[in-house]
Chains A and B, each alone.
Chain A
Amino acid sequence: GEDVEQSLFLSVREGDSSVINCTYTDSSSTYLYWYKQEPGAGLQLLTYIFSNMDMKQDQRLTVLLNKKDKHLSLRIADTQTGDSAIYFCADYYGGATNKLIFGTGTLLAVQP
């Protein structure tokens, strides 16, 4: 079945850039998403990218997609302490159903 993997933990200093990586196995992916989850909260949609795009930029966020290697990354510029959270990538798993396959989540810790 479809599998989405992420590294578990990333620590950065405030003001640095953060890069969170994700790999997936579904060769027919159409949309890939990034969600942010703060402690005790629901999932906040950050951004998404369509599979015919290589890059998408949205303010401090840059998403890069390497479809050949099935690799997705989220870069956060000028990381702030408020960016500390768990970040999930998610792959839309095709067919008649709108099923998202979530990665394992990356805990981003921002040190002041």
Chain B
Amino acid sequence: DTEVTQTPKHLVMGMTNKKSLKCEQHMGHRAMYWYKQKAKKPPELMFVYSYEKLSINESVPSRFSPECPNSSLLNLHLHALQPEDSALYLCASSQGRGTGGETQYFGPGTRLLVL
């Protein structure tokens, strides 16, 4: 099973709202990722967690706050977002052996619209 699940599928929020995106995998992977994808563009890496520790933050604004409560779950907390943050947010996971070149498996994404 190479499934990564994400909830919700769609989210509409105002600029003053607080919401969270959720990602889950049960493949025993120890590395998890958040990507942001704008229309007609490739995914852009936001955060990487390795063994439940934040290992990469690609200079993402603080209105995005990641959390990895356990090895199967990854959350992205959203607060005071801007309309330009509207995008498809993709979660991915990989084995996390740390040897490099690991295959990343992606979830279906959450389509976020900020009004």
Contact = CB atoms under 8 A, between A and B. Distances in A.
Interface of A: 30-31, 33, 35, 40-45, 48, 50, 88, 92, 94-100, 102-105
26 contacts: A30-B101, A31-B101, A41-B108, A42-B107, A42-B108, A43-B90, A44-B106, A45-B2, A45-B103, A45-B106, A48-B103, A88-B42, A88-B43, A92-B100, A94-B101, A97-B55, A97-B56, A98-B48, A98-B101, A98-B104, A99-B56, A100-B104, A104-B41, A104-B42, A105-B40, A105-B41
B45 interface: yes
A96 B56 CA distance: 10
Interface residues of B, number: 29
Interface of B: 2, 4, 6, 31, 40-43, 45, 48, 50, 55-56, 90, 92, 94, 96, 98, 100-109, 111
Contacts of B103: 31, 33, 45, 48
A25 B6 CA distance: 33
A95 to B, nearest CB: 7
A88 B37 CA distance: 13
Nearest to A31: B101
Contacts of B55: 97
Given A98-B96, A99-B45, A100-B45, 19 more contacts: A31-B103, A33-B103, A35-B106, A42-B4, A42-B6, A42-B90, A42-B106, A44-B106, A45-B106, A48-B103, A97-B56, A98-B31, A98-B102, A99-B56, A100-B104, A102-B43, A103-B42, A105-B40, A105-B42
